[in-house]
Amino acid sequence: MNIAVLGGAFNPPHLGHQLIANQILDFTHIDEIWLAPCYQHTFEKKLTKVQHRATMTKMLINKRIKYSSEEIDNKLSGDTIDLMKILEKKYPQHHFFFIIGSDNLAGLRLWGQWKRLITNYHFLVFPRSYFKGSLADFKLNRPEYKLKLIKHPLLVTTDISSTNIRERIRSRLSISSLVPKKVQEYIKRYSLYK
């Protein structure tokens, strides 16, 4: 199968993650999406406890969107290349892709072993709503770089972000249209992000 990994902090997971996953399934040859919350963030961002993020991420799964615990189980540093190596070795029957948002293109060269990563693994780049550029704008259009910008006339983009959701919670604003109901209830139950 063709598996696309959607990695991230999922701090918290939200409807934007679901929207991206569903459209990757709609508009590409991907068979399943695996959501992979990080154990820790590469750039040392402060994160909510890993068990909370893992539990909430599992609330997004369905028949074709699965949960992957590899980053957490192996207590990885957050470098994507480490996760991809583990998945490749553990599941040799699958072909793996990695999903990033177009907002990650500007800082991609800061990722651990970035050049090796994008020459050895296929990346699906999902555009943010404000993204009007191309891979060439970031000098990432070399033939050996396996980056593909997702394009389709029916593609729906979003600017929902975990950062914005956390800020809304701190400001006592509603997040009901930004996260699944189960995630909202979980955040409230454990008083997260206050």
In a domain, 11, yes or no: yes
What pLDDT sits at residue 139? 95
* Cα–Cα distance, 71 to 69 (Å, whole number): 6
Task: Give the pLDDT confidence score for residue 44 in this predicted structure.
Answer: 67
Residue 189 placed within a domain: no
Domain count, the chain: 1
- Measure the CA dihedral 13/19/21/22, to 10°: 140
Instruction: Specify if 142 maps to a domain.
Output: yes
| CA dist list (Å): 10 to 13, 43, 90, 140, 158 | 4, 15, 23, 26, 16
CATH number of the domain to which 126 belongs: 3.40.50.620
pLDDT at res. 55: 98
**Full domain range(s) for residue 11:** 2-160
Residue 165 domain-assigned (yes or no): no
Predicted pLDDT of residue 78? 87
Give the pLDDT of residue 24: 98
- Which residues in the chain show pLDDT less than 50? none
Rounded to whole angstroms, the Cα distance separating 174 from 165 reads 9
Whether residue 178 is contained in a domain is answered as: no
The whole-angstrom separation of Cα 124 and Cα 154 is: 17
Angstrom CA distances, 58 to 34, 37, 67, 134, stand at 10, 10, 6, 33
Q: Is residue 180 part of a domain?
A: no
Per-residue CA distances from 59 to 62, 87, 173 (Å): 9, 22, 22
